[in-house]
């Protein structure tokens, strides 16, 4: 049965008494409702099948199959089971009334009929039937929205897997290129690798942006649809505070109160997750920005924050050490003229080295070690005394650098890391970018067992 609010209303009257049929027909037609009549249960079932009335008024005491059995058969058939049935009876025994409600009737009216009561009850159940159909239609829409969301999530997962595969393939290509060119110029290979990685990261950020936008764009409509459905349920509960037992059982079964609370949490988690992915995408684009032939204005704090966000997964606790805490002490500084992509590479090298140091130190912890003082990276910015330069310090409280090694850390091909973990080019390139490309300086101070601090000094106005 599919009826809109302005469609003609058909009501099937079932009674073996012609007088009762006439009285009811006259009363219902006064409201411009179409009436159909049947004098026994069998013909009533047949008419209900093909006419699909909006409501059935069914007498209990009839020849042949009585009203109870007729109702059972109507509710057992797919074509007629959703049509609301109201019993008409002269019986005053409450057991009979309860029996009728238990087999699927929505209400009953007693004989002799009171016209106002009959019309009021009929109007009520026609309205309830219409609201039920509208709610079912909205549930279908919501189900489709959920299906679309699931499809989008599946597509996002597929894209992620494809991107991971592309990253793996590209990494293999870069490794092969590095092996072929290492004898000629290792430093050039490292620079090209960083450039390719920047392009790859920019591609990842671009590929993520479209599905992220789709999910974010659908969040508010889904939230609105759910709120509309919940408002409809509230209205139904206010209008009919004592629903039937079937509805009560369903409310208990689905844990309606918990569902309403939890759905808000789910939507909030969805929104937070999308915001997190969006921020990561922005950081990836900022970090992988391609340098132009000339220097541009650059916000150092944005560069540091983007690099820290990209490295955030490495700051988490692992099997060897506790979480690494980052302390940021930023002072107001102006934007500087520089090659932004190269400075991001400097930040990445220094911060990644600090994490490596804390990882290595974590592997040597003993049960007696005081872990409360470990695993801190401090990043500070500020103006130099003459206010023509800015200062950036990146400090860790790791194992520190031995005095005999300290003078060599900026040398080409020098590394203290195990084979496969370092090329010996990282700090050499850092120094080249800071000193040769930007006319700045870099210094290191370190005390074994207490940590290491790198201090960068960069001019605000870029040199040629």
> How confident is the model over 372-395, as pLDDT tens digits?
567 899 999 999 988 899 999 999
In 3D space, the residue among 434, 455, 429, 448 whose CA is nearest the CA of residue 357 turns out to be 448
pLDDT of residue 200: 56
pLDDT of residue 174: 83
The beta strand positions in 117-265, using DSSP E, are none
- Is the pLDDT score of 184 beyond 60? no
More confident residue, 396 or 345: 396
pLDDT of residue 182: 53
Instruction: In whole angstroms, give the CA distance from residue 194 to residue 174.
Output: 10
Instruction: In whole angstroms, give the CA distance from residue 362 to residue 318.
Output: 9
Instruction: In whole angstroms, give the CA distance from residue 86 to residue 83.
Output: 10
- pLDDT-derived band at 186, boundaries 50, 70, 90: very low
- Is the pLDDT score of 58 beyond 70? yes
Label residues 330-352 b or e (16+ Cβ within 10 Å = b).
eeebeebbbbbbbbbbbbbbbbe
Token pair of 187 as six digits: 């430093």
- Is the pLDDT score of 338 beyond 60? yes
| Residues forming beta bridges with residue 326, ordered by sequence position | 377
pLDDT of residue 69: 92
- pLDDT-derived band at 64, boundaries 50, 70, 90: confident
Burial of 181 (0-12, 13-18, 19+ CB in 10 A): middle
More confident residue, 451 or 30: 451
Which domains, from first to last, does the chain contain? 10-113 (3.40.50.2300), 130-283 (no CATH), 293-459 (3.30.565.10)
Per-residue pLDDT tens digits for 112-153: 878 888 888 888 888 888 888 888 888 888 888 888 888 888
Report the first-to-last Cα separation within the chain, whole angstroms: 80
Instruction: In whole angstroms, give the CA distance from residue 123 to residue 461.
Output: 81
* Residue 74, number of CB atoms within 10 A of its CB: 24
pLDDT of residue 183: 40
In 3D space, the residue among 17, 12, 109 whose CA is nearest the CA of residue 70 turns out to be 12
- Non-local (6+) Cβ contacts of 336 within 8 A are 297, 298, 300, 390, 458, 459, 460, 461, 462
More confident residue, 200 or 177: 177
- Is the pLDDT score of 454 beyond 90? yes
| Residues forming beta bridges with residue 37, ordered by sequence position | 13
- Is the pLDDT score of 108 beyond 90? no
Residue 92: how many CA atoms within 13 Å on its side-chain side? 1
The average confidence (pLDDT) of the chain is 80
Q: Are 383 and 331 in contact (CB under 8 A)?
A: yes
pLDDT of residue 279: 66
Secondary element (H or E) of residue 268: helix 256-287
| Global confidence as pTM | 0.44
For tokens 């990836």, what's the residue? 284
Least confident piece of the model among 71-75, 92-96, 456-460: 92-96
- Is the pLDDT score of 290 beyond 60? no
Per-residue pLDDT tens digits for 187-223: 454 455 555 555 555 566 556 666 777 677 777 888 7
CA angle 113, 119, 123 (to 5 degrees): 145
pLDDT of residue 189: 44
Percentage above 90 pLDDT, the chain: 19
Instruction: In whole angstroms, give the CA distance from residue 458 to residue 464.
Output: 14
- Is the pLDDT score of 331 beyond 90? yes
pLDDT of residue 389: 94
More confident residue, 423 or 250: 250
Mean of pLDDT values over 98-125: 84
pLDDT of residue 384: 92
- Is the pLDDT score of 277 beyond 80? no
Mean of pLDDT values over 164-172: 84
- Is the pLDDT score of 233 beyond 70? yes
In the 8-state DSSP scheme, what is residue 406? G
More confident residue, 454 or 105: 454
- pLDDT-derived band at 424, boundaries 50, 70, 90: very low
Mean of pLDDT values over 230-234: 84
pLDDT of residue 208: 64
Mean of pLDDT values over 422-426: 48
* Residue 427, number of CB atoms within 10 A of its CB: 23
pLDDT of residue 238: 86
More confident residue, 190 or 339: 339
């Amino acid at each position: 049965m599919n009826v809109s609010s302005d469609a003609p209303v058909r009501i099937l009257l079932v009674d073996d008494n012609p007088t009762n049929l006439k009285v009811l027909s006259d009363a219902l037609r006064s409201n411009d409702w179409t009436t159909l009549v049947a004098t026994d249960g069998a013909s009533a079932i047949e008419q209900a099948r093909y006419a699909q009335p909006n409501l059935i008024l069914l007498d209990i005491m009839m020849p042949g199959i009585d009203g109870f059995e007729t109702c059972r058969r109507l509710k057992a058939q797919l074509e007629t089971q959703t049509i609301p049935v109201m019993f008409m009876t002269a019986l005053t025994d409450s057991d009979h009334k309860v029996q009728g409600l238990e087999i699927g009737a929505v209400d009953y009216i007693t004989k002799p009929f009171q016209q106002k009561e009959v019309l009021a009850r009929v109007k009520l159940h026609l309205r309830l039937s219409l609201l039920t159909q509208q709610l079912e239609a909205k549930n279908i829409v919501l189900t489709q929205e959920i299906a679309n969301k699931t499809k989008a999530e599946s597509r996002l997962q597929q894209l992620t897997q494809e991107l991971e595969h592309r990253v793996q393939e590209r990494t293999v290509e870069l490794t092969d290129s590095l092996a072929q060119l290492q004898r000629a110029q290792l430093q050039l290979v490292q620079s090209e690798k960083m450039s390719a990685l920047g392009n790859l990261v920019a591609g990842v950020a671009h590929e993520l942006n479209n599905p992220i936008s789709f999910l974010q764009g659908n969040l508010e409509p889904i939230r609105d649809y759910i709120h509309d459905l919940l408002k409809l349920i509230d209205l139904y509960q206010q209008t009919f505070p004592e629903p039937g037992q079937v509805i009560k059982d369903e409310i208990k079964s689905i844990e309606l109160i918990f569902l309403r609370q939890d759905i808000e949490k789910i939507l909030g988690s969805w929104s937070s997750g999308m915001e997190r992915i969006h921020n990561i995408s922005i950081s990836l684009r900022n970090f992988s920005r391609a340098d132009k032939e000339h220097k541009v204005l650059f916000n150092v704090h944005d560069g540091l924050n983007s690099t820290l966000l990209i490295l955030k997964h490495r700051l988490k606790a692992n099997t060897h050490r506790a979480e690494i805490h980052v302390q940021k002490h930023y002072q107001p500084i102006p934007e500087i003229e520089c090659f932004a992509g190269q400075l991001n590479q400097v930040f990445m090298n220094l911060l990644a080295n600090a994490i490596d140091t804390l990882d290595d130190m974590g592997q040597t912890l003993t049960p007696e070690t005081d872990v409360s003082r470990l695993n801190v990276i401090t990043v500070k910015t500020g103006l130099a005394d003459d206010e023509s330069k800015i200062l950036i310090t990146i400090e860790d409280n790791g194992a520190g650098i031995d005095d005999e090694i300290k003078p060599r850390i900026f040398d080409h091909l020098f590394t203290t890391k195990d084979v496969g973990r370092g090329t010996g080019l990282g700090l050499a390139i850092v120094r080249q970018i800071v000193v040769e490309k930007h006319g700045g300086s870099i210094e290191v101070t370190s005390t074994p067992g207490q940590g290491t601090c790198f201090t960068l000094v960069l001019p605000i106005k870029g040199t040629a």
